[in-house]
Amino acid sequence: MITAGQMRAARALLGIDQKMLAEMSGVSVPTIQRMEASQGNVRGVVDTLSKVVEALDRAGIELIGDQVPSMGAGRGVRLKEAETRHSGND
């Protein structure tokens, strides 16, 4: 549904902190903190995850899944597959 990295990137694109995302989604700050500390896909109560995803959607964030084309025309971020990333020491 959403990864911890997507949540952090979405907040960065919106220029908001964890407190603001909590207010926008109606969940607690500790819940947002736990979600963002997850490894990989965020796990939790489906209703809570849905609130966060819907809040990000209302704010203009398009969450892009693996191997899914983006339908939006705005700017965005997508992480390359691990084998195509470079360490910068090339």
Mean pLDDT for the chain overall: 84
Give how far Cα 84 sits from Cα of 3, 33, 81, 88, Å: 20, 30, 6, 12
Q: Report the alpha-carbon distance of residue 1 to residue 79 in Å, rounded.
A: 16
Q: pTM for the whole thing?
A: 0.79
| Other Cβ atoms within 10 Å of 56 Cβ, number | 23
Q: What is the pLDDT of residues 47-89, one digit of tens each?
A: 999 999 999 999 998 888 777 777 776 766 666 666 554 555 5
Asked if residues 5 and 12 have their Cβ atoms less than 8 Å apart, the reply is no
